[in-house]
Amino acid sequence: MHDLFTFGEVMALFLASDTDSVINAKEFAREVAGAEANVSVGLTRLGLRVKYLSKVGADELGDAVLTSFESEGVDTSLILRSQSFTGILIRNRGTTRPVHVTYVRKESAGSELCAADISEEFISESRWVHVTGISAAISRTGAEAVKKALSLAVKFEKPRSLDLNIRRKLWSEKEAQESLLLLAPLATHIFGGVDEYEVVWGKKEPLKNLESALECGARVAIMTSGDGLIRVLSSDGYMESMPPRISAVDPVGSGDAFVAGTISALIAGLSLENALAQGARCGAGAASKVGDWAGLPYGRAGVINADA
């Protein structure tokens, strides 16, 4: 039995390192990026066992990605190789100017993920299943894989989370809404930003969108707003909290870290309030360092170390 099953595209990240602009940069650091990959590393660092499914190319970038995962102790047995290329993401840090992202991922190895890759065994032997809207956006087969994973999680009565994670460079808001409205009723926990909830449920008031998420069938709806207010609605009621105040060095990946910290704590048996607090600490840690993984904290059995 493992603690989490998730899947999605993992990409080689080229991060401008000498300036906050890709246009002017002369130096780039090679890292690894991908929402589900970030969540997998986040849970692994907190001492949980993760099964992460992905596809990378039979190329040197694919080798580099696998090496990065292995250095983090992530189980790479479900990372498949493909004759297509490993996806690439190029961006600036986003500290002095808005983050600008360039993707090289159309027809990439990761976009080949499909329903046939999702076995009942992966789901039945997991304590939690996590998916994102990115995998639904990247290809038709990816969307089918997300639906199958959630449907199997329903069948086996597993807690299952959906991070809306709307990437407007991958699909339109209309396409996102249509797809995510079909997936949301299958999830027990929904994560997303204020704007993402608005895209899916169409209301201007954040609380109304949280209510709509619960009406779809979710048990817990969690809404973030960058470094601002966290709003949560569950069957036990409504709560709000503020994440720790930090000086962000690289904000990208902090949302995935928040998801990883929250899910880890819930798997560990912490209350929803304490799980959100741990998620916020993980998100702040990720934002405090350059790269998606560098600031992720360590822990045991899903809980951050006391001295972290």
**129-155 per-position pLDDT tens digit:** 999 999 999 999 999 999 999 999 999
Of 17-21, 164-168, 197-201, minimum mean pLDDT range = 17-21
199-208 pLDDT tens trace:
999 999 999 9
Q: Outline where DSSP puts E strands in the chain.
A: 2-7, 11-16, 28-33, 50-57, 79-82, 88-91, 101-104, 126-132, 160-163, 189-193, 220-224, 230-234, 237-241, 299-300, 303-304
Q: Is residue 288 part of a domain?
A: yes
Q: What is the pLDDT of residue 254?
A: 85
Q: Which pLDDT belongs to residue 87?
A: 97
Domain with 284 in it: 2-6+35-58+74-84+107-304
Q: Output the pLDDT for position 183.
A: 98
The predicted-structure confidence for 112-122, as pLDDT tens digits, reads as follows 999 999 999 99
Q: Specify whether 256 is catalytic.
A: yes
- Assess if residue 30 is contained within a domain: no
CATH number of the domain within which 125 lies:
3.40.1190.20
Q: Is pLDDT of 196 > 80?
A: yes
- Domain presence at residue 98: no
Residue 133 lies in a domain: yes
**Within a domain: residue 204?**
yes
Answer whether residue 163 is part of any domain.
yes
Mean pLDDT of the chain: 94
Q: How many beta carbons lie within 10 A of that of residue 204, not counting itself?
A: 7
Question: How many domains does the chain contain in total?
Answer: 1
**Residue 227 lies inside a defined structural domain of this protein:** yes
**Position 290 confidence tier, pLDDT thresholds 50, 70, 90:** confident
User: Over 80: is that where the pLDDT of 288 sits?
Assistant: no
6 pLDDT band, cuts 50/70/90, is very high
Active-site position among 227, 256, 292, 307: 256
In a domain, 171, yes or no: yes
Q: Tell me what the mean pLDDT of segment 258-273 comes to.
A: 97
